[in-house]
Every structure is written in C-alpha cells, then in structure tokens.
C-alpha cells in the first residue's frame, strides 16, 4: 500500500498491530497517532480501536485457531499475514455486526494491498474455515486448568498460575474474562467548572452515553465517545479521566485546602489533579516525574482543568532532595509497577516479559523509603500501584512499616462495595468493578 493512500479502519488497526509487533509500541499510543494521521471519523476510529484491542485481547486463542487450519504454524507466518488473519478471525468470532463475507473479503483485499498477492488464497481459505466453524470451533487442547485458562483468555501461563494461587480458579476465570471485556470510561467531574448534573446533560447532548458511577460520588461512566479528546467538555476541562480505583487513591490522601502535597511519581497527573480538586485548588501540589516530557503532560493537564495550585518538576523519586525533608502534609507515591491490574485497558501488558518485572520491587522500595522522608510529623503517606501482586504491594509496605515504627497504617472509610479498610486494600475488577489496584495509607506519628 502506498503511504499516501488513505487507510481504512481495518488498515489502521493493522498498522497499529504491526507497530506493536515490530517496534514494541503500545497499542493505545500507536492507535491514537494513526487515527489522527489518517483522519478517521469517530465511527471508523471506534472500529479500528475495537479491532486492534480485540486482537490483542484474544491473540493466543486466535493463533491457536489459525494453526488448526493453516499449513504453517502461526509463529512461522510473515507478521503482516499473521496480523491480517487475526483481524479477520476476530471479526468472525467476536463481532456480530460484521458480516462474515465482509470480514473474509476485506482480509483478502488487505493482503493484496500490502503487496502479498500470492498469500491471498491462503488467507481466504483459512478465514473461510473460521466462517464454516464459527459456532463449533475446535476444542482447546486438554491440559491443566492453567493451560486452559491461559489459552481461552489469551493470558500468559505464568500470570494465570500466579492468579490461581492468589484467588483460586473461579475468581481467576472472572478476572481474565473481565480483562477481555469492554469497560466504560470512568470520569471525575471537575467541581471547579461544572456539576455532575450539568456535565451529564452536556455529554448526552453530544451523543455520549452517560451513567452516574454506581457507587462513587462525583464520577460518571461514559461510552460511545469516539475520540474522547474531541469533546468540548474535555477540551475545556470539565472532567478528568480517572478510574474509580485511582480516584480512591486520591481520596485516601485526604488532601485539604491549604495543604502542601508532594506527588513523587505523578505523570500524567491524574491523582495530582484529583487531589487539587479536593483541595478546591487552594494549597500547593508539587507533581514530579523523572521524564521531562511527562512533566509537560502534567502542566498541560493542569492548565486544561484550570488548576493553579499545581507545579510540575522533573525529579527522580529515588533521589533525596533536602529542601523537601519533613515539609509535606501529604506525600503520594504511585510507584512504577507491572500494571497487571489495568490489562483490561492496556491489553499489551499481558505480554510483558516477566523477567523484566522481577526488579520492580527494588525500585518500589527505594521510592517509598525516599518519599517517606518528605512527610511532616502527623502527615499522610499514600503508597499505590495498579497491580495485584503482593510482592509489589503488601510485601513492600509491610517491610517498610516493620523498619519504620514512626509510621502507622491508617484506617480509611471507602464507599461500598470497597468499604472500610484497616490501612491497605487490594481492589479487583471482579470484586469491585475497578481496575486492579493497591492502596496503603500511612501516617507519620507526631
């Protein structure tokens, strides 16, 4: 295909998947860039997103079925052909509104457009087998519970085994299933600019499906947005995109008007923004990130939301800054983590190399140790992650509290279904309807 030709939604999805394969790109970032470059309207953008995410969410299962009817093993296929087969197979198995004939024909045409005419017959033959058997696909190979769940829900076996150990087979299956489901976008109303009622009315007028969050005040759940950033309410800062779990982390900080707050791993700024709203934009928040380009994201987000109490700075959360010692009423440490609690929103995370995750607790411990020095006597320290693994969560905070008797866990009264927690809580999609998340609230004794 010539680079000057306008891509269809299917071609954009294919381009994004190829960037994930070849350049180790994040699918959401690749999609956002390609949708903008190709000028897709909201309908085509939503279709491209569904295709790309759907393939990422079901990649292992799709490859198994492709292998049932293709002479070559999927891993031996040319990457572009493998991705075209995945896109076609996903439409046939998971998208009721796409006619099977269209899914097959478009895949064949994509194969030709991408300069592989000799492969068109094979693509046609394999996808026609999908169509013939879409109601009675081949049985998955018999094996252990972990083997079955791994293939059925396209999660790596190591992660399935870990979840089985933590929460048992029933909850593991539900966790994995929810990772592959579409979820509404949770937003927090900016009370400095609007009310929940007015924002709900405005978004409905723009064709967005809106419901109040079932248990979190000041938040809404939205679907049917297309490119969310094109909405006037977003551009003009009347809401913040924030999962309920992240909102609870900001609530745990209990930041009050006039407080001095330090957010040591702040980018892209969501928890800083949420705390600033709780403070009525009165006080001081220093939002830090180690990457200068991410500091600009914080600054632009604060400007969009009309928050003036936030100052952003580049800083490594592991490095000591003497001027900050004992100065903060609240320190937020939302540390780098494996991200295994947000697979439902970033499906690529499931394919991370687990060896790369092994070093994370060392980084997390170093950040928590350093950040604790910035808390004033009587002040609050919040440690949070978007993962569900104990080695990144309660193991880290438990060791910290053992070594630092000057800190104590603080009971927090979260709304139901989370409810009161004695200082720490792990949130689960299948239990709470949130991202997988961990929050620990601690207080430095006077």
Average pLDDT of the segment spanning 94-99: 96
Asked if residue 182 belongs to a known ligand binding site, the reply is no
Q: Out of 70, 288, 386, 440, which one is annotated catalytic?
A: 386
Mean pLDDT of the chain: 95
The answer to whether 265 is annotated as binding is yes
Average pLDDT over residues 350-372: 94
Q: 309 labelled as ligand-binding?
A: no
Q: pLDDT exceeding 90 applies to what percent of the chain?
A: 90
371 assigned ligand-binding residue: no
**What would the mean pLDDT of 313-332 be, rounded to a whole number?**
96
On the question of pLDDT at 256 being above 90, the answer is yes
CA distance 340 to 384: 13
Please report the pLDDT score of residue 371 as a whole number.
Answer: 98
Torsion angle in degrees (nearest 10) through CA of 280, 286, 292, 295: -10
Lowest-pLDDT choice from 28-37, 190-199, 312-321? 28-37
Give 5's pLDDT tier (boundaries 50, 70, 90): low
pLDDT at residue 56 tops 50? yes
Model confidence pLDDT, tens digit, residues 387-408: 999 999 999 999 999 999 999 9
Say if residue 294 carries a ligand binding annotation.
no
Instruction: For residues 128-149, give the mean pLDDT.
Output: 96
Q: What is the pLDDT averaged over residues 64-88?
A: 96
pLDDT surpasses 50 at 1: no
Q: Is 288 a catalytic residue?
A: no
pLDDT value at position 2? 47
Binding site annotation covers 16? no
423 is in an annotated binding site: no
> Does 63 count as an annotated binding residue?
no
267 is in an annotated binding site: yes
Domains and CATH numbers, the chain: 9-133 (1.10.940.10), 145-179 (no CATH), 185-241 (3.30.70.1170), 244-444 (3.40.50.150)
- Known binding residue 224? Answer is no
Name the pTM for this structure. Answer: 0.94
Please check whether residue 435 is in contact with residue 343, taking contact to mean a CB–CB distance below 8 angstroms: no
Can you give the pLDDT at residue 24? 75
Report the pLDDT averaged over residues 222-227: 79
Instruction: State the pLDDT at residue 322.
Output: 94
In the predicted structure, residue 4 carries a pLDDT above the cut 60: no
**Band of the pLDDT at 220, cuts 50, 70, 90?**
very high
């Amino acid at each position: 295909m010539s680079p000057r030709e306008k891509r269809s939604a299917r071609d954009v999805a294919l381009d994004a998947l190829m960037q994930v394969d070849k350049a180790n790109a994040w699918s959401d970032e690749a999609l956002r860039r390609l949708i903008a470059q190709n000028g897709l309207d909201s309908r085509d953008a939503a279709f491209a997103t569904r295709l790309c995410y759907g393939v990422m969410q079901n990649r292992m299962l799709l490859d198994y079925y492709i292998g049932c009817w293709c002479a070559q093993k999927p891993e031996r296929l040319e990457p572009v052909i493998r991705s075209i087969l995945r896109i076609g197979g996903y439409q046939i198995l998971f998208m009721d509104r796409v006619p099977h004939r269209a899914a097959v024909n478009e895949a064949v045409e994509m194969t030709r457009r991408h300069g592989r005419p000799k492969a068109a017959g094979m693509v046609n033959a394999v996808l026609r087998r999908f169509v013939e058997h879409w109601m009675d696909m081949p049985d998955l190979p018999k094996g252990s519970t972990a083997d079955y769940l791994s293939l059925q829900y396209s999660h790596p076996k190591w992660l399935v085994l870990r979840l089985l150990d933590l929460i048992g087979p029933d909850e593991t299956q539900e966790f994995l299933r929810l990772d592959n489901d579409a979820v509404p976008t949770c937003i927090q109303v900016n009370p400095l600019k609007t009310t929940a009622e007015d924002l709900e009315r405005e978004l409905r007028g723009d064709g967005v499906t809106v419901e109040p969050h079932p248990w979190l005040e000041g938040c809404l759940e939205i679907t049917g947005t297309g490119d969310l950033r094109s909405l006037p309410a977003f551009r003009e800062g009347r809401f913040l995109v924030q999962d309920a779990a992240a909102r609870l982390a900001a609530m745990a900080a209990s930041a009050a008007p006039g407080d001095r707050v330090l957010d040591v791993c702040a980018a892209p700024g969501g928890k800083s923004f949420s705390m600033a709203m709780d403070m009525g934009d009165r006080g001081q928040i220093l939002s830090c990130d180690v990457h200068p380009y991410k500091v600009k994201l914080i600054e632009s987000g604060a400007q969009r939301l009309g928050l003036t109490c936030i100052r952003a700075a580049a800083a490594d959360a592991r490095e000591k800054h003497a001027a900050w010692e004992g100065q903060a009423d609240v320190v937020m440490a939302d540390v780098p983590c494996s991200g295994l609690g947000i697979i439902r929103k970033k499906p690529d995370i499931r394919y991370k190399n687990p060896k790369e995750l092994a070093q994370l607790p060392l980084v997390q411990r170093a950040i928590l140790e350093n950040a604790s020095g910035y808390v004033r006597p009587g002040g609050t320290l919040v440690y949070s992650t978007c993962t569900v693994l104990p080695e990144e969560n309660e193991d880290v905070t438990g060791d910290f509290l053992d070594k630092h008797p000057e800190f104590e866990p603080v009971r927090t009264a979260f709304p139901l279904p989370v409810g009161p927690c004695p200082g720490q809580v792990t949130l689960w999609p299948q239990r709470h309807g949130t991202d997988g998340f961990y929050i620990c609230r601690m207080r430095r004794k006077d």
